[in-house]
Structure 1
Amino acid sequence: MTAATAEAMTDDPHGYSARHLSVLEGLEAVRKRPGMYIGSTDSRGLAHCLWEIVDNSVDEALAGYCTHISVTMRADGSFEVGDNGRGIPVDLEPKTGLPGVELVMTRLHAGGKFGGVSYTASGGLHGVGASVVNALSARLDVEVDREGHTHAISFRRGLPGEFADDGRPNARFKKKSGLRQIRKVARKVTGNRTRFWPDMQIFLQDATVEQSLVLDRMRQTAFLIPGLTIDVRDERGEEVVEERFRFDGGISEYCTYLAKDAALVEVLRLQGRGHFTETVPVLDEQGHLTPTDVERDLEVDVALRWGTGYDTVTRSFVNVIATPKGGTHLRGFDRAVLKVVNEQLRATRLLKNGDEDVIKEDVLEGLTAVVTVRLPEPQFEGQTKEILGTSAATRIVSQVVTRELKEIFENPPRGQKQPLRAVLEKIVGAAKTRIAARTQRDNQRRKTALENSALPAKLVDCRNADDRSELFIVEGDSALGTAKLARDSEFQALLPIRGKILNVQKASVADMLKNAECAAIIQVIGAGSGRTFDIDAARYGRIILMADADVDGSHIRTLLLTLLFRYMRPMLEAGRVFTAVPPLHRIELVKPKKGQEKYVYCYSDGELTRKLVEFERKGQRWKEPIQRYKGLGEMDADQLAETTMDPRHRILRRIRVEDADEAAKIFDLLMGSDVAPRREFITAGASELDTERIDL
């Protein structure tokens, strides 16, 4: 290429040269791309900022220097975290000449979590947490009690300085490096207080941190560090809410707290440690990164128990940081439990020579487990720390769990021999149910597409099965007759159900499959159930529950949603489940005005009252009595189509699962086998009931 050609390319406005490149300095990169560091700029990202500051205090507790943490949510939108740990260093760092506090708050990848000297195990490991929160805060104040003084420093969007007054993020600000001493304290008093105001130029306007989320997280942390006291205070509502958490029983107590069913065996505690060598890049004296072999210790602590239920509850943690998507430590746990259980089933002859091994799903049924590991500088996938990537964790966790669990089964503690036998029998029962279900699916798949008997005879199918197709699950045969005439047979299918289906929340998988209505729904949707559910195989784009607008209809919808939530949850998560909203009343107007509909439908008693007041004010008369629909069967086909089934006029209510854990708790409360919490729920809501609406 000639010099003239190169010059022409540089001058070309469409060219690409070095002058088009941007270099983001310091914390500017965080403000430019916040999603890289906190995941998002909505409520989830804001909560992650709070967790970053809290985790620094938790690391002090893990190291044995902190016994108390406080978390306060202020009325002005700020958050404050305090602890009685050692306090961030306030002396000058030799290379930069900055105080330790300013260094960790303004420089990415600066902190005491590297090298394993200050912390043998910590949740904050990349050295970016505090500095990222600082960069994304309109104001951040730090106070450090150390060496007989309280040292203070403030920041605005990552820049150090001083504010003209206290307590307002938009106060006049002067850039200034260094700490200021604001008061004397006893030399034995140490700790940190960090308060930050999120920068609403970065976060969405409706971003907030829910009180329940903070309480759950702090309760969880208190379980994981026995003896640590955590105080939570929320000043944002009309009333101040305060909670204190302290649990000396550790993860054994946490396991009992998480389990919602009756125990088959008491909580089993498996503890041990392992050693591994890891090659990591280390800065040498010349500032070069040199691959170096580092010796590591990994501690394993697991609590587990099997219960009479069918749900699996697993929580995994690395240095007290939750790993909701698991990782190498959870992989080692699953592998070890499955191996030990299969060995014990063979040893006790509950599995005979010709029987196939049980699989992970069988073993996990009814299992509640808390899996924790502690190690220096764990390798995570991303700053959000949702998946552990340290490969040695799989081997060490598997060895510890295999050794300890095998010892418990072979030499059971006093009084636990029969409960452990019951656990093995339950697992074998789960395997038999799974095999029976698989046989049923295999038999179904063998039928050809031409065999109409593959689908229930009562299904009224549609002609096209594209993304526009809809399956209406209809309450009762009377409504089915009207719905046949009201539907668009091109894309709307109908499946009637008789009465109230089985409550699957307190029934086994085998009982659910035996129930004709449940089996028909699963068969018609055609995507399987439970862990084998494949949403891409679903025969319909939407599932619409169409029941009467009364108490029985609400109960039927709840039972259907329980089935969908428990065995076809991806449909709910994808937003493909709806409930039809049929009208309650029909007003027939007398001599309607030009352009006015003769019939007006109302979907609630409140809407009816408002419409009648409006008509009365306009002098519009209506025919008495006003029709009150007691059920879908009372409508004729035109009315049902216009109000409930025709996409051009109908109202659908989409069923969403914004928080799967919270939804699971509600389903368990309302539909589970434990009566006492449900009675308390009904009693607590009794005061809100209008007694005049009860039929006596």
Structure 2
Amino acid sequence: MGHRRRPDISDYDARNLLVLEGLEAVRKRPGMYIGSTDTRGLMHCLWEIIDNSVDEALAGFGDRIEIVLHADGSVEVRDNARGIPVDVEPKTGLTGVEVVFTKLHAGGKFGGGAYDASGGLHGVGASVVNALSERLEVEVDKGGATWAMSFERGAPTGPLAEKGKVAKARTGTRVRYWADPQIFIKGAEFSRDDLVRRARQTSFLVPGLEIVIRDERGEEVVEESFKHDGGIAEFVDFLAPDEAVTTVLRLQGEGTFTETVPMLDDAGHMTPQDVERTLGVDVALRWGTGYESDVRSFVNIIATPKGGTHVQGFERGMTKTFNEVLRTTRLLKSGDPDVVKDDVMEGMTAVVTVRLAEPQFEGQTKEVLGTPPVARLVQKVVAAELAAFLTSTRTAERTAARMVMEKVVGAAKTRLLARQQRDTQRRKNALESSALPAKLADCRSNDVERSELFIVEGDSALGTAKSARDSAFQALLPIRGKILNVQKASVGDMLKNAECSSIIQVVGAGSGRTFDLDAARYGRVIFMADADSDGAHIRCLLATLFFRYMRPLVEAGRVYSAVPPLHRIELSNPKKGQDKYRYTYTDGELQRALAELRKKNVSWKDPVQRYKGLGEMDADQLAETTMDPRHRTLRRLTVDDAEEASEVFELLMGSEVAPRKEFIVQGAYELDRDRIDA
């Protein structure tokens, strides 16, 4: 194995450091400046040029911008603003046009002289576009003349030259460029849809500005024009997808903050200085009947799709104010939890705009505003303006405010309920997947067709039933007393109830909408309770549970009620072939059986035994009468008309008392008093 020479430390010296000067750096690392070299990056370049014209309009110069997508793949942006300076900049000795298009970090947005608030920030816009263009041509109308200059891949092809005369009052800039195919990937092209979306958005943000898009690339020339004098209030109306609950509200105000920024002093040194900044806040919003929220945020007309400190301030101001006003109006009681941001935002469409000089963004793509004091100031403005609306005494505003507050409280209640149900679902899943309860006496057979689950009431009956069952295919699950009335209870309460949850767990097929009939562990489920009124009540409660949460099992005819005997007649001297015991299941049947025995001169022991419960039988008797498939009687529960059955359950077991009282009173008139066993 050859020995690799360890690189000598002296191999790495200053010669290895590549110093990328000026626009060469942009061509080497375009992603750092425009994000990517696909369609998105191509569009980012175009926005840089358009934003320069928009900043002029924002500063009050120029009211028309025209964007032309030429057939040869180039794009042109024309405006009627002041025009790029054409005089010589003293420090560099270059004309203003050359400085703007060839020097990084140069422009009118530094030092606060030319722009109060602008979309440009780092001064790299026009020069980066020039560096990434195969060719760029700029024309400026200024001082009664048209000036022109051309560049190739960022380098000037000649000096700025006067091209012709124009009227002295006419000013403006025209920039046309051809994106460099060496930089941008194949298939990257200008998107008219993106352009239209952005132009529409900008026309809302700069009222009175007209933006025209002209696409000459296809067989037919397509031209669209955008102009909105109503500003962001019109924008909110345009964005809102649902019916309005309120009209569009405007929350406006301003505040000041101090920022420490490095400034160039006369000696050319950077020294930190405190600068007083003014922040203008303008928010338009309205609530609709829907559930989705759409909040668009902008800083000096630059969209911040990922928000930032201005959006944080807006959200905090909204939430805090709603909680304060809801408490004072008693729509939130003292024990109620606070409403959260999502409750307030439900159904809201809002446009949040702030204007300030030299905003701090996170990265050149300007997607997140980072200036820290903005959050506090926006919160203050929003809180004051919103509180004024929510507590307004003017009739129209008061009605709208009340509707909004009720909508927010409703959203909070729904959220809490949904969370409760989610927790319940998790609990349910945990129940359905955990081990079977210890009290289940399972059967040996895995054959679902043959297996049976007896739900037995009472511990005394369980002992007898264990001896009476055939453990090969009969499983027992004891329940204690009366289970929960699930017609009245919520899903959460039902799952918290030990008896209900263990029944669902043992059946093993889930509950409610997630119930899977094929997953049921037993072919039959049999309720086995005493033959008295308490037993009937327990059977009724079990039927309600199965009907509400495991209905497919009932519909498939797999739920039964065991029919234990009510009486036992013990014959004194049974004849050959006669059983010693006869069982009857109703009082009527007992009377008929005794009459028949009397007729045949067969005597029996008095008194006839009446069973109070299953626990009074011994195992042989229970097996013979109730559990042995050869002798027992089962009553199948069917759902001939689920709707009707559901109504009966609701009437007899539901939370509405009045219909039940009416039913009982009605039944009282039809009752024969002599039948009452008292």
Q: CA deviation at 1:445?
A: 3.1
**Distance in 2, Cα, partners of 1:368 & 1:327:** 18
> Which residue in 1 is equivalent to 2:171?
190
Q: Deviations over 1:419-442 (max 9, x none)?
A: 221111111111111111111222
Note the 1:257-656 alignment, pairs <5 A.
257-411=238-392, 413-446=394-427, 449=430, 451-452=432-433
**Distance in 2, Cα, partners of 1:15 & 1:356:** 67
Counterpart amino acid of residue 12 in structure 1: D
Q: What TM-score, normalized to structure 2?
A: 0.63
Secondary structure of the residue that 2:118 maps to in structure 1?
coil
Secondary structure of the residue that 1:337 maps to in structure 2?
helix
Secondary structure of the residue that 1:275 maps to in structure 2?
strand
* Cα distance change of structure 1 residues 342 and 94 upon mapping to structure 2, 3 Å threshold: same
Secondary structure of the residue that 1:350 maps to in structure 2?
coil
Counterpart amino acid of residue 362 in structure 1: D
Counterpart amino acid of residue 348 in structure 2: L
Secondary structure of the residue that 1:415 maps to in structure 2?
helix
User: Is the CA contact (8 Å cut-off) linking 2:313 and 2:376 kept in structure 1?
Assistant: yes
Q: CA deviation at 1:12?
A: 3.5
> Which residue in 1 is equivalent to 2:131?
135
Q: Does the alignment pair 1:159 with 2:140?
A: no
Counterpart amino acid of residue 335 in structure 1: R
> Which residue in 1 is equivalent to 2:66?
70
Secondary structure of the residue that 1:451 maps to in structure 2?
helix
User: Is the CA contact (8 Å cut-off) linking 2:67 and 2:75 kept in structure 1?
Assistant: yes
Counterpart amino acid of residue 113 in structure 1: K
User: Is the CA contact (8 Å cut-off) linking 2:319 and 2:341 kept in structure 1?
Assistant: yes
**Consecutive unaligned residues in structure 1, runs of 5 or more:** 1-7, 162-175, 455-515, 522-696
* Cα distance change of structure 1 residues 391 and 136 upon mapping to structure 2, 3 Å threshold: same
* Cα distance change of structure 1 residues 440 and 202 upon mapping to structure 2, 3 Å threshold: same
**Distance in 1, Cα, partners of 2:161 & 2:189:** 32
Q: 2:107 aligns with which of 100, 106, 111?
A: 111
**Distance in 2, Cα, partners of 1:92 & 1:54:** 24
Q: CA deviation at 1:449?
A: 4.6
> Which residue in 2 is equivalent to 1:37?
33
> Which residue in 2 is equivalent to 1:144?
140
User: Is the CA contact (8 Å cut-off) linking 2:391 and 2:398 kept in structure 1?
Assistant: no
> Which residue in 2 is equivalent to 1:596?
none
Counterpart amino acid of residue 180 in structure 2: D
**Distance in 1, Cα, partners of 2:21 & 2:267:** 23
Q: Deviations over 1:266-296 (max 9, x none)?
A: 0000111110111011111222111111111
Rg larger in 1 or in 2? 2
Secondary structure of the residue that 1:247 maps to in structure 2?
coil
> Which residue in 1 is equivalent to 2:223?
242
Q: What TM-score, normalized to structure 1?
A: 0.61
> Which residue in 1 is equivalent to 2:654?
none
CA RMSD in angstroms, aligned pairs only: 2.1
Q: Does the alignment pair 1:253 with 2:234?
A: yes
Q: Between 32-41 and 405-414, report the one with greater CA deviation.
A: 405-414
Q: CA deviation at 1:519?
A: 7.5
Q: Deviations over 1:5-44 (max 9, x none)?
A: xxx99x8399422221100111000000000000000000
**Distance in 2, Cα, partners of 1:518 & 1:413:** 49
**Distance in 2, Cα, partners of 1:294 & 1:285:** 17
Structure 1 segments of 4+ aligned residues over 6 angstroms from their partners? 516-519
* Cα distance change of structure 1 residues 518 and 306 upon mapping to structure 2, 3 Å threshold: farther
Q: CA deviation at 1:446?
A: 3.7
User: Is the CA contact (8 Å cut-off) linking 2:109 and 2:115 kept in structure 1?
Assistant: yes
Identity %: 64
Secondary structure of the residue that 2:286 maps to in structure 1?
strand
Secondary structure of the residue that 2:94 maps to in structure 1?
coil
**Distance in 2, Cα, partners of 1:389 & 1:29:** 26
**Distance in 1, Cα, partners of 2:74 & 2:109:** 26
Q: Deviations over 1:205-238 (max 9, x none)?
A: 1001211110110000000011111111011112
User: Is the CA contact (8 Å cut-off) linking 2:389 and 2:397 kept in structure 1?
Assistant: no
**Consecutive unaligned residues in structure 2, runs of 5 or more:** 436-509, 516-678
Q: Deviations over 1:542-563 (max 9, x none)?
A: xxxxxxxxxxxxxxxxxxxxxx
Secondary structure of the residue that 1:69 maps to in structure 2?
strand
> Which residue in 1 is equivalent to 2:47?
51
* Cα distance change of structure 1 residues 78 and 403 upon mapping to structure 2, 3 Å threshold: same
**Distance in 2, Cα, partners of 1:406 & 1:319:** 26
Q: CA deviation at 1:448?
A: 6.9
Give the number of equivalent residue pairs: 437
Note the 1:646-685 alignment, pairs <5 A.
none
**Distance in 1, Cα, partners of 2:46 & 2:163:** 25
**Distance in 2, Cα, partners of 1:238 & 1:262:** 40
